[in-house]
């Protein structure tokens, strides 16, 4: 269902009738789900806030019971996570959790003094999304933009991530049609089974390889894009990592010399015939051979100069030409740029996400599959303090439960897969520590892992009351000194 921005919703639950009081809002629309199924009800403390933002029609169905962790009450919806500090007073303490901060996508957009509020903020938000951003509460509710606009060819959508919500529009939709990304469904993972449209899904991003972090920060994530692979050995013996817009490469004998690989060439993009200067004041002529070269829009030249110059991107290899609907493209040796003449501002010029095309050509599996939203890197337990493990150690654990929620009298099964350098670890005996409702801890040992690195253990019923969160920790010991652990939890719910 698509409708103009709503002002109020009145629900008549018995008849499942929704009466909307609407206000016309130009060309911007919020796209709603037609699925009326809902397994859980919104907690009373969140009801007013949930309804004010549009309820199920905007934030999505409620996909979990409410639960409390360290005096903070949470509840998941398909598109957001609601939270309230139980020690605070007043309705203003209800907020959306900053799920976007957990997505490893922050492009570190720099706001000058005064730009974080008022009309200046509009410059950092994709124009089609700005009106909906404002309607939903702007900075206070949606939070700061974490990225610029991205085209995601996997889902054929334009997307922008904010601290508390994510917006997108499908390529096939009328400009101005706005959807919310499934922040809540992603955050809850397999614990909250929910029927979600695939195009609203969030795919976990790779982390930037440590050797490239400084270079990515120097160039800006708006120029490099999200990482699409792990760091890996290139065919020429060097080391590289694939990003949305570029491929970063380094000779390990000279680790400070990081350059861009010729991504267009790898994607099969050839050179256009050279041309003469068109004498247009809006372009700059770049000589390639004698009097011949390419006419490059000054907007492209400015963008390139702000990100390392032609020394980094390489010289142009194609002419500036229209692809479709006022979107123009021109390629350089190491990347391609596009210009959307329908809009102004910082999103008018942006890199082309050739990284996806390259992955498709070479086969995504060849560069190590991304860590899924339900899989976590191991944590190193050192003197009782949990620290992040260096991914170069190559050890990982994946844990799962039989059921997202169990009753007090129901057994729960825990599964674990142990791997090292992407290979299963065989005959390993993982340990399981479960924290009970009274704070006591019970220790279990899994059977030795099988040839696939997997093991399984069934827990006795906990006897805990409704809404109890049962934390647990699974660990493996590689040596007497090194112990690697991952933490998770499950909920007690639906007791009679």
Which residues, listed in sequence order, are joined to residue 319 by a DSSP beta bridge?
none
One domain, residues 161 and 16:
yes
Question: Domain tally for the chain?
Answer: 3
Q: Give the pLDDT confidence of 230-245 residue by residue, as tens digits.
A: 888 888 888 999 999 9
* Higher-confidence position of 276 and 377: 276
Planar angle of CA 273, 279, 280, nearest 5 degrees: 100
Tell me whether residue 250 is in a domain.
yes
| Residue 283 belongs to a domain | no
H or E element in which residue 218 lies: helix 213-219
Is residue 285, in this structure, part of any structural domain at all?
no
Final residue in a domain of this structure, among 323, 355, 371? 371
**Same domain flag for 433 and 337:** no
DSSP letter assigned to residue 5: P
Q: Give the pLDDT of residue 117.
A: 54
Whether 298 is in a domain gets the answer no
459 and 441, same structural domain? yes
Task: Give the pLDDT confidence score for residue 267 in this predicted structure.
Answer: 94
CB half-sphere exposure, 451, CA atoms < 13 A: 0
Asked if the model's pLDDT at residue 455 lies above 60, the reply is yes
Residue 472's φ and ψ, nearest 5 degrees, are: -150, 160
Last residue of a domain, one of 351, 371, 391: 371
In a domain, 303, yes or no: no
Phi, psi of 304 (to 5 degrees): -65, -45
Mean pLDDT of 348-355: 92
- Note the pTM of the prediction, 2 decimals: 0.63
d(C-alpha 123, C-alpha 112), whole Å = 12
175 and 225 inside one domain? no
Residues 26 and 155 in one domain: yes
* Total residue count of the chain as it appears in this document: 496
pLDDT reported for residue 43: 93
- pLDDT at 21 exceeding the cut of 70: no
Percent of the chain with pLDDT over 70: 80
Residues 160 and 258 in one domain: no
Whether the CB-CB separation of 407 and 494 falls below 8 Å is answered with yes
CATH number at residue 402: 2.60.40.1930
Least confident of 115-129, 162-176, 278-292: 115-129
- Say which residue the tokens 């199924």 belong to: 37
Do 66 and 19 sit in the same domain of this protein? yes
* Burial category of 343 from C-beta neighbours within 10 Å (exposed 0-12, middle 13-18, buried 19 and up): middle
CA distance 245 to 211: 18
**Residue 349 in domain:** yes
Q: What is the mean pLDDT of the chain?
A: 79
Would residue 289 count as lying in a domain?
Answer: no
d(CA 45, CA 459): 33
Q: Say yes or no: 382 and 336 in one domain.
A: no
The residue-averaged pLDDT of 123-140 equals 90
Q: What is the pLDDT of residues 457-472, one digit of tens each?
A: 999 888 888 778 888 9
Same domain assignment for residues 360 and 475: no
- pLDDT-based confidence at residue 39 (cuts at 50, 70, 90): low
Domain residues for the domain of 353 are: 204-273+309-371
Residues 388 and 317 grouped into a single domain? no
Residue that is last in its domain, among 169, 200, 231:
200
Report d(CA 242, CA 246) in Å as an integer.
7
Residues 167 and 254 in one domain: no
The answer to whether position 406 is within a domain reads yes
Q: What is the tens place of the pLDDT at every residue in 278-307? A: 999 999 999 999 999 999 999 999 999 999
Residues 356 and 409 both lie in one domain: no
């Amino acid at each position: 269902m698509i409708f103009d921005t709503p002002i109020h919703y009145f629900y008549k639950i018995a008849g499942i009738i929704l009466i909307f009081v609407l206000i016309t809002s130009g060309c911007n629309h919020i796209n709603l789900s037609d699925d009326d199924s809902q397994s859980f009800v919104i907690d009373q403390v969140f009801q007013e806030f949930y309804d004010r933002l549009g309820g199920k029609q905007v934030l999505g169905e409620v996909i979990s019971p409410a639960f409390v962790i360290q005096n903070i009450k949470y509840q998941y919806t398909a598109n957001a996570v609601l939270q309230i500090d139980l020690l605070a007073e007043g309705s203003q303490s209800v907020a959306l959790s900053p799920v976007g901060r957990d997505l490893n996508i922050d492009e570190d957009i720099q706001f000058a003094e005064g730009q974080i509020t008022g009309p200046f903020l509009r410059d950092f938000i994709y124009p089609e999304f700005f009106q909906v951003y404002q309607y939903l509460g702007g900075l206070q509710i949606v939070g700061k933009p974490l990225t610029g606009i991205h085209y995601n060819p996997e889902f054929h959508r334009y997307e922008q991530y904010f601290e508390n919500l994510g917006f997108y529009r499908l390529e096939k939709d009328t400009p101005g049609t706005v959807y919310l990304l499934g922040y809540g469904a992603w955050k809850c993972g397999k614990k909250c089974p929910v029927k979600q449209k695939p195009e609203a899904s969030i795919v976990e991003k790779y982390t930037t390889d440590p050797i490239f972090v400084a270079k990515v920060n120097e160039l800006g994530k708006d120029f490099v894009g999200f990482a699409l692979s792990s760091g890996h050995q290139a065919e020429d013996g060097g080391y590289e990592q694939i990003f949305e817009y570029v491929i970063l490469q380094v000779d390990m004998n000279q680790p400070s010399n990081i350059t861009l690989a010729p991504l267009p060439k790898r994607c099969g993009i050839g050179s256009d015939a050279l041309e003469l200067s068109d004498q247009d004041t809006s372009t700059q002529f770049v000589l390639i051979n004698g009097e011949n070269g390419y006419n490059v829009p000054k907007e492209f030249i400015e963008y390139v100069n702000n990100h390392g110059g032609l020394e980094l991107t390489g010289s142009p290899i194609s002419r500036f030409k229209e692809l479709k609907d006022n979107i123009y493209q021109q390629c350089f040796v190491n990347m391609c740029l596009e210009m959307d003449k329908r809009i102004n501002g910082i999103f008018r010029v942006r890199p082309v996400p050739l990284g996806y095309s390259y992955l498709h050509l070479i086969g995504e599996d060849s560069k190590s599959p991304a860590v899924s939203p339900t899989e976590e890197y191991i944590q190193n337990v050192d003197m009782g303090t949990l620290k992040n493990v260096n991914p170069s150690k190559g050890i990982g654990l994946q844990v799962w439960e039989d059921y997202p929620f169990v009753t007090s009298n129901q057994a729960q099964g825990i599964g674990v897969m142990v791997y090292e350098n992407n290979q299963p670890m065989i005959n390993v005996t993982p340990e399981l520590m479960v924290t009970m409702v009274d704070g006591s801890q019970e220790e279990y040992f899994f059977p030795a892992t099988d040839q696939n690195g997997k093991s399984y253990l069934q827990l006795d019923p906990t006897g805990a009351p409704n809404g109890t969160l049962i934390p647990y920790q699974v660990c493996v010991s590689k040596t007497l000194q090194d112990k690697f652990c991952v933490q998770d939890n499950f909920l007690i719910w639906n007791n009679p």
